[in-house]
Every structure is written in C-alpha cells, then in structure tokens.
Amino acid sequence: MSAKILVCDDEQEILDITQMILEDAGFEVTAVIDSLKVEKLIEEQKPDILLIDLWMPGMSGDQVIKSLRLNIKINHTPIVVISASRDGKEIALAAGADDFLEKPYDIDILIDTVKKNLSKPLSA
Amino acid sequence: MRDSQDQLPNPSHSESRLFEAALDASSNGVVITDNLLPDQPIIYCNRAFEQLTGYDRDEIIGHNCRFLQSGDRDQDARSEIREAIENGKNCQVEIRNYKKNGEMIWNELMISPVTNNEGQITHFIGIQNDVSRRKAAETELAKEKEYLEERVVERTRDLELSEAYQASIIETIRESLVVLDKEMKVLSVNEHFCKFFKLKSKEIIGQVLFSIGDNGQWDIPELKDLLLKILPHNNPFEGFELENEFPRIGRKLLVLNARQVMLKGKYQERILLAIEDITERREIEQRKEDFISIASHEMKTPLTSIKGNIQLLERKAQRNNDSEYMVGFTKAAKSIERLERLIDDLLDVSKIQSGKIEFHFTDFQFDDLVTEAVSGVQAATQTHKLNITGSSNTEIAGDYGRLEQVLINLLNNAVKYSPSADEVKIHISRVSDYVKVAITDSGVGIHQRDHKRIFERFYRAEQITEKFPGVGIGLYVSSQIIKEHKGTLWVESEEGKGSVFNFTIPIKKK
C-alpha cells in the first residue's frame, strides 16, 4: 500500500504541482489550502506524513506544528516544512518539524525528502 | 650786467663783485626786479637761475617774471604773488615754471620787497628753488596713499561681502552646524540646527554642548566619545552614527562629521560639528529592503510551480524517450536556475544591506569546498574546461554554503565573460595564515578604473553592460561574504587580456 501524504499550502498552484509530483511518484495525496483544517484531517485520515508551508493566513505553519505536537493522538506524524523563506528552517525545526525544504524545490529532492522522513523511526 | 649792477643799491665796486660771486655760488636761483619801472622787469639773475630755467641772462634781463609760467597762467600761486607785490609783502609759493625747453619744474619761490629810505618799494628779490623731485615724490606718495585707501576700502568691502556670503551659505545648508571651543562650549550654531532641534540660539550659545537643552538631552555618551576621545586622534572624523531620543523631536538617527581647526591663530582648536539627520533615509532604506524581501519571496511561488511542472514534464519525456522535448526542458531548467539565483542574490543584497544575513560557521577542508564548487559548475558548462591546480591541505572555519556561492559566482563569471576562450584556471594555495584561490580567465578583462567599483552594489562595468546580461549584484554579495569571513576579494585585470579574481580566507587558529 502506498504512503498517504497530506499537503497544506495557501497557494493553489503549489498544492497542484506538489500533488502531481507526489502522485506521479506513486503516493496517495490529499491537498488542503486552509491550514485551520489540517489537524482535523490528520485525525480523520491518519496520513503517513505532513508537508506544510510556513507563511499562511489563519494559522501559520509553525503554529499548526506546535498544536499537532501537543496532540497525543497524532503527534508522531512526520512533518516536513516547505517554505520559500530560507530563514524558515530554524522556525520550522524549533516548532517541531522533522525536516525543511526550500522553495523552489527540486522534484527529486522533494521525493527523496518524503521517503527519508517516512522511513524514520517514529518519534515518540 | 654793468647796467643792471648800476641800479643795485650802492655798494663799493669790490663789495659788489664779492656779492655777485656769492650769489653765483648759490644753488638757489636769485632774481631782482625793479618795482619802479613799468611791468617790473628783471634787472638781475644769478647763474643758478640761468641753470634752473635754461634761459641765458640775455633772454632774462628786462622781462617780467611771468614768462616763466609760459602759458600756464591760471595758477593760484600767481595771484598770491600779485597780492604780495601790490602790498609790498613777503610771500612764499610753489609755482609751476617752464624751462626754455618746455619742461615743467616746481619752483619754490620766495619773494621779499626792498624798501628805500622813503619807504618806497624799489625792488623785489626772488629766491627760486627747484622742488620738482620733491613734488613728484609727494604726488607719488599722495597717489600711493589714495590707492592704498581705495584698496583698504575695497578689501574691507570684499571681506564683509565674503563673510556675509559664507554666513548665508551656512544658513542655507540643510544640515545642522555647530562651532565649539576647545572646552566644548558652543560658540555658534546655524539656523537649521535651531530649527531641527527646536532650540533657541540663546539657550545654546555659551553652554557646554553636553549640557544644552532640557533634561540632559545632549549628555550623550557616544557624542562625548566622539568629541573627547576619538576626534583628538582622528581629525577630521566623518560619518559617526548616533541614535538618540531627543525630548522635543523624538528618536533620531544622526550622522556626524567633526573637525578640529588646526590653523594657528584666532580659530585654533575650535571644533566644527556637522550633523545630518538620516532617520528618514534609513526608514526608506528599510522599507526598500522589506519590499525586495517580500517581492523575492512572492516570486518564488510561481517559480516553484514552473520548476515543478517543467521537471515533471522532463521526467515524463524521459520515460517516453521523447528527445525532442528533452532539449527544451533542459533549456527551461537552466533559465529557471538562473532566475532562482537572481532572486536569491536580490534577497542576499537586501539582507546584507539590513545586516540580517546569517552565517553558519563550521570547520571543513578548504580544498574540498573548491573542488565541489568547480565540479558543480563544470557539470553545467560545455564550453570551458575548468582546471584546478595547487592545494592548501588546510581546514578552515566558514559558512560552507556561502563560500560555495562565492566560488560558483566567480566561476560562472569567468565562463560568462570569456566567450571565446575554452579554459578557466583555478589555483589553490596557502599563503602565510591564509588560504587563497585565484580564478583566471582569458576573457574581456576589466578596465583599471572599475577594479574597485565592480564590487559595489548594482555596479556594472561600462564595456560589458551591452554585451552581457546581469544586474550587478553577484560580486557585491561575494565580497560581502568574504568580508564576513575576514578575508579579501580582489581582481587583477587588464582590458582585453582577461581577469584574475582572488580571495583569501584566514586559516582557523588551532
């Protein structure tokens, strides 16, 4: 069974291309534009990994991550932040993300990063 | 002669000869006129008178004295003489006389009447003295004096004008100016100073600078440092930045230039302080940096989509072995990469400007860094062979990614600006406490006048702007990165003969 990925970004075109690339690589992808819905979707769909942007209206990526990390039911989900801000790496890792990928990303690196974080031993 | 002598008062014959000899020995001209004869003719003149006038006695005796004035009759002295003669008085005048050859002489003339026993004036004796040289000197002196007086008036006016002119310049300048004595007491300020700081000049003049205004607003440690510690050793001092909260005008960012007058004299040791307010300029700069930062970030979103789509299509074309599309995708990928670099450079510039660029230092082998950067650029370059020589075998502490960025920038430049060459040489060495890289191309080269300027932001050398695209930030960013590593980046180049870009980084101290 292929791994399930949840992608959250406030830009539709980013969501579209990320979904296409990952589906082409054989993953099952759910895309969400509203960061406020991320936590509920994870609870419902139990994706194997979350890819999330940082700067978003409503709830910023790091706020979402902090909240998820406090949610015992789902706090083991690997999280990769994908942001156009180079300084975002520190913010992402400090909030509890497992990895960081800078936009514009290279598709091979995107796929490798997803695979690498899927195979990581689950964080407690 | 005999005739005239006969008319003189009656001395004995031998006495008369003695008198005549004495008179001829005199250097003053002497004439005697007969007052009883019509038109008072000259009846005697001595030798000096002949010499003085240039006339022979034959031409003199029997004439009235007026012939000596020639045509120059309108002299005040003449009426004085006339009056003296009419009243039988002595007189002394200076009168213009004319020699036989027409030359004018100033004659200092003394006239004395001779009276007989009946009280009748029988003769006048005139003593003449040529004072032309003295008169000339006097005239010259008077002229000189007049000239000097004129000059003094002129110079005074010039000085007043120049003072007023300079004062008006100082008052017009939109920068605050303060003059202090060596005890830091305010001697004067310009209008802009008062306006800007909302102070009245009477509140300031005579006060020690650090004590002016209310609540010690000028008691600023940095300002004291500048004037009391820095200036004595660095005179003049320019570009001293100072941020302070001023009660009447709020927080201001100021740039100060200070200069202590070294001229000997009245103004010695006075301190001139020019204060420029750059608060607003800094804010505008900040807004510009913010704009670049946000704009670059925004550009990355569509770029991510383009890059992803192109790479996805490339991948699919590869699967289908569709070589026709592959060429296009490769080209597009290159352009995307260039655009990405441009955006990154823009962001870097904005971060460097605002001092927000972050460096992450780690230890690594310098040669590995160079080798990796070179092979990265080589992989994307078909036209040139990049050849590395030398080695440093040295570990340094630096930001690997940033230094790699510098190397990639320099290597790409070397390739870009040597379109007709096929090689770029890279030489690594260790020099004293530094590692050094020299990147040599045989391209278009850089004119001497641009060797420093090419490292400025947005500067592009004149001769390349038309032939090569670019925005002029790569070298600026590179030099800033090298500076952050306490190294130097410089170029040696001659137009038409290629360039050598060098940089050094200090070796990590064990």
Domain containing residue B204: CATH number = 3.30.450.20
What is the pLDDT, as a whole number, of residue B260? 87
Contact between A87 and B312 using a beta-carbon 8 Å cutoff:
no
What is the pLDDT, as a whole number, of residue B360? 83
Contact between B300 and A17 using a beta-carbon 8 Å cutoff:
no
Of all residues in chain B, the percent with pLDDT exceeding 90 is 34
CATH of domain A4-118: 3.40.50.2300
B26 three-class SS: coil
User: pLDDT digits over B411-465, tens only?
Assistant: 999 998 898 899 999 999 998 889 999 999 998 888 888 888 888 877 777 767 6
Cβ of residue A15 closer than 8 Å to a chain B Cβ: no
Domain containing residue B444: CATH number = 3.30.565.10
Number of domains present in the structure of chain B: 4
Q: Does residue B392 share a domain with residue B484?
A: yes
CA distance B440 to B1: 115
Q: Does residue B314 share a domain with residue B265?
A: no
Give residue A124's pLDDT band: very low, low, confident or very high (50, 70, 90). very low
Which residues contact residue B60 at a Cβ distance below 8 angstroms, ignoring those fewer than 6 apart? B31, B42, B45, B49, B50, B53
**Can you give the residue ranges of every domain in chain A?**
4-118
Nearest to B227 by CA among B270, B285, B268: B270
What is the pLDDT, as a whole number, of residue B510? 55
Map B46-94 to HEC letters. CHHHHHHHCCCHHHHCCCCHHHHHCCCCCCHHHHHHHHHHHHCCCEEEE
- List C-alpha distances in Å: B131 to B94, B266, B475, B510: 8, 48, 87, 99
User: pLDDT digits over B470-489, tens only?
Assistant: 767 888 889 989 998 999 99
Bridge-based pairing state of the strands B121-130 and B104-115: antiparallel
Q: Could you tell me what percentage of chain B is helix, strand and coil, using 3-state DSSP and rounding each to the nearest 5? A: 45, 25, 30
Contact between residue A22 and residue A31 where contact means Cβ atoms under 8 Å apart: no
Contact residues on chain A for B309, CB-CB shorter than 8 A: 17, 20
Residue B150 phi/psi, 5-degree rounding, is -60, -45
Return the sign of the alpha-carbon dihedral for residues A46, A48, A50, A51.
negative
Candidates B312, B316, B340; nearest CB to A104: B340
CA distance B259 to B274: 9
* Last-in-domain residue among B322, B353, B384: B353
Contact residues on chain A for B311, CB-CB shorter than 8 A: 21, 106-108
Contact between A17 and B336 using a beta-carbon 8 Å cutoff:
no
Cβ of residue B311 closer than 8 Å to a chain A Cβ: yes
What is the pLDDT, as a whole number, of residue A122? 52
Candidates A13, A24, A86; nearest CB to B312: A24
Bridge-based pairing state of the strands B498-506 and B488-494: antiparallel
Q: Assess if residue B162 is contained within a domain.
A: no
Q: Does residue B309 share a domain with residue B247?
A: no
* Last-in-domain residue among B353, B377, B409: B353
User: pLDDT digits over B387-425, tens only?
Assistant: 999 999 999 999 998 999 999 999 999 998 898 899 999
A110 three-class SS: helix
Q: Is the pLDDT of residue A117 over 90?
A: yes
Contact between A105 and B305 using a beta-carbon 8 Å cutoff:
no
Give residue A47's pLDDT band: very low, low, confident or very high (50, 70, 90). very high
Nearest to B463 by CA among B492, B438, B441, B494: B494
Beta bridge partners of A7: A31, A51
User: pLDDT digits over B256-308, tens only?
Assistant: 988 888 877 777 788 899 999 999 988 888 888 788 878 888 889 899 999 99
Closest residue in B to A14 (Cα–Cα): B305
Supply B509's token pair: 């101290």
The sheet with strand B176-180 has its strands ordered as B186-189, B176-180, B271-277, B250-260, B237-246
Q: Is the pLDDT of residue B6 over 60?
A: no
Residue B496 phi/psi, 5-degree rounding, is 85, -10
Cβ of residue A30 closer than 8 Å to a chain B Cβ: no
Cβ of residue B335 closer than 8 Å to a chain A Cβ: no
CA distance B401 to B408: 10
Q: Does residue B348 share a domain with residue B267?
A: no
Q: Does residue B452 share a domain with residue B398?
A: yes
Alpha helices (H) in B417-494, listed in sequence order: 462-465, 474-484
CA distance B446 to B413: 12
Q: Compute the nearest-CA separation of A82 from chain B (Å).
A: 11
Q: Does residue B252 share a domain with residue B311?
A: no
Contact between residue B45 and residue B61 where contact means Cβ atoms under 8 Å apart: yes
Q: Assess if residue B237 is contained within a domain.
A: yes
Candidates B301, B304, B358; nearest CB to A105: B304
Q: Considering all CA atoms of chain A, what is the largest pairwise distance in Å, rounded to the nearest integer?
A: 36
Contact between B308 and A104 using a beta-carbon 8 Å cutoff:
yes
Q: Is the pLDDT of residue A121 over 70?
A: no
What is the pLDDT, as a whole number, of residue A123? 46
Size of interface A-B (CB pairs under 8 A): 54
Contact between residue A104 and residue B307 where contact means Cβ atoms under 8 Å apart: yes
CA distance A62 to A96: 8
- List C-alpha distances in Å: A31 to A13, B474, B499: 11, 38, 52
The sheet with strand B434-440 has its strands ordered as B385-390, B423-431, B434-440, B498-506, B488-494
Q: Assess if residue B433 is contained within a domain.
A: yes
Contact between residue B415 and residue B384 where contact means Cβ atoms under 8 Å apart: yes
Structural domain containing residue B287: 283-353
What is the pLDDT, as a whole number, of residue B8? 52
Give residue B352's pLDDT band: very low, low, confident or very high (50, 70, 90). confident
Whether the model clears a pTM of 0.90, i.e. scores above it, the answer is: no
CA distance B250 to B194: 15
Q: Assess if residue B158 is contained within a domain.
A: no
User: pLDDT digits over B170-201, tens only?
Assistant: 888 888 999 998 888 998 899 899 889 888 88
Cβ of residue B304 closer than 8 Å to a chain A Cβ: yes
What is the pLDDT, as a whole number, of residue B4? 46
Contact between B307 and A104 using a beta-carbon 8 Å cutoff:
yes
Contact between B315 and A24 using a beta-carbon 8 Å cutoff:
yes
CA distance B299 to B319: 30
Contact residues on chain A for B350, CB-CB shorter than 8 A: none
Contact between residue A64 and residue A38 where contact means Cβ atoms under 8 Å apart: yes
Q: Assess if residue B239 is contained within a domain.
A: yes
What is the pLDDT, as a whole number, of residue B9? 54
Contact between B305 and A14 using a beta-carbon 8 Å cutoff:
yes
What is the pLDDT, as a whole number, of residue B154? 92
Closest residue in B to A22 (Cα–Cα): B312
Supply B69's token pair: 């004035």
Q: Compute the nearest-CA separation of A76 from chain B (Å).
A: 29
Closest residue in B to A104 (Cα–Cα): B304
B6 three-class SS: helix
Q: At what angle do helices A12-24 and A107-118 cross, to 10 degrees?
A: 70
Of all residues in chain B, the percent with pLDDT exceeding 70 is 95
Which residues contact residue B342 at a Cβ distance below 8 angstroms, ignoring those fewer than 6 apart? B471
| ∠ CA B492-B494-B500, rounded to 5° | 35
Cβ of residue B312 closer than 8 Å to a chain A Cβ: yes
Amino acid identity at B286: Q
* Last-in-domain residue among B353, B370, B390: B353
Residue B80 phi/psi, 5-degree rounding, is -60, -45
Cβ of residue A21 closer than 8 Å to a chain B Cβ: yes
Q: Assess if residue B164 is contained within a domain.
A: no
CA distance B63 to B403: 116
| Interface pTM, i.e. ipTM | 0.90
Nearest to B39 by CA among B57, B22, B71, B62: B62
Tell me which of A25-34, B67-76, B432-441 is least confident.
B67-76
Contact between A18 and B308 using a beta-carbon 8 Å cutoff:
yes
Q: Does residue B454 share a domain with residue B439?
A: yes
